[in-house]
């Protein structure tokens, strides 16, 4: 079975189909999600609505919702209880002096923006031998996977439950 990584772009219906137990969790988390019990809404809205949109409807922060849902299903991407293991040990290539660009996705997410396109564009234009620092309120798994496919190395530093520093490195 393919493990669904929970992200702001995950569709509500996809989430509930992959993890049926999360339907109750969603309803308890934000009363607005009670509407998911209505079969008509489930077929329409839940099919197209992302967790980012659901968080807005439920008036909750998307990062809190993502972290809460991931905890519920034991999807701790940081410690690698998932099928994907990420680099969480400080690598030899890391040096503060090499940080060329820094972006804080927390503010973008709060404004309802998806930082993915901006970050990928930045990574594509990055200088060799430099580091790009991304500050995020949850682990942006698809973004890290995309960066890896671009042959970039990464290191994830967990500051606390709401703050992750992800460093991307482009070898020279």
Q: Is 78 inside a domain boundary?
A: no
Q: Is 39 inside a domain boundary?
A: yes
Q: Is 3 inside a domain boundary?
A: no
Nearest to 170 by CA among 121, 130, 134: 130
Domain co-membership, 64 together with 104 = no
Domain co-membership, 61 together with 119 = no
pLDDT of residue 119: 93
Domain co-membership, 166 together with 133 = yes
Residue pair 123/138 in contact by the 8 Å Cβ criterion:
no
Return all residues near 11 (Cβ < 8 A) that are at least 6 apart.
46, 47, 48, 49, 50, 51
Render each residue's pLDDT in the chain as its tens digit; 172 residues: 457 889 888 999 999 999 999 988 988 888 878 887 888 878 888 888 899 888 888 888 888 999 899 988 888 766 654 445 678 889 999 999 999 999 999 888 877 787 888 999 999 999 999 999 999 998 888 888 888 888 899 999 989 888 999 999 999 8
Cα–Cα distance measured from residue 156 to residue 154, given in angstroms and rounded to the nearest whole number: 7
Within 10 Å of residue 114's Cβ, how many Cβ atoms? 17
Hey, CA dihedral for 150, 166, 140, 108, is it positive or negative?
A: negative
Return all residues near 35 (Cβ < 8 A) that are at least 6 apart.
41, 45
pLDDT of residue 83: 47
- List, in sequence order, every beta strand (DSSP E) within 94-150: 99-104, 130-136
Q: Is 1 inside a domain boundary?
A: no
Owning domain of residue 16: 12-72
Q: First and final CA of the chain: distance in angstroms? A: 38
C-alpha triplet 132, 137, 140: angle, nearest 5°? 60
pLDDT of residue 97: 97
Domain co-membership, 20 together with 66 = yes
CATH code for position 157: 3.30.110
Q: Domains in the chain: how many in total?
A: 2
Domain co-membership, 61 together with 124 = no
pLDDT of residue 125: 94
């Amino acid at each position: 079975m393919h493990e669904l990584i929970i992200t702001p772009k995950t569709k509500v219906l996809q989430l509930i189909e992959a993890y049926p137990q999360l339907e109750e969790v969603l309803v308890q988390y934000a009363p607005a999600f009670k509407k998911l019990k209505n079969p008509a809404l489930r077929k329409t809205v839940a099919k197209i609505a992302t967790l980012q949109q659901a968080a807005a409807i439920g008036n909750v922060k998307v990062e809190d919702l993502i972290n809460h849902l991931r905890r519920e299903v034991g999807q701790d991407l940081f410690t690698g209880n998932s099928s994907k293991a990420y680099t969480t040990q400080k690598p030899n290539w890391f040096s503060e002096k090499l940080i060329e660009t820094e972006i804080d996705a927390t503010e973008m997410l709060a404004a309802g923006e998806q930082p993915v396109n901006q970050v990928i564009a930045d990574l594509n234009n990055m200088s060799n031998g430099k580091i790009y620092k991304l500050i995020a309120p949850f682990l942006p798994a698809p973004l890290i996977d995309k960066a890896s496919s671009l042959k970039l190395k990464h290191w994830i530093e967990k500051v606390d439950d709401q703050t992750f520093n992800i460093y991307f490195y482009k070898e020279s």
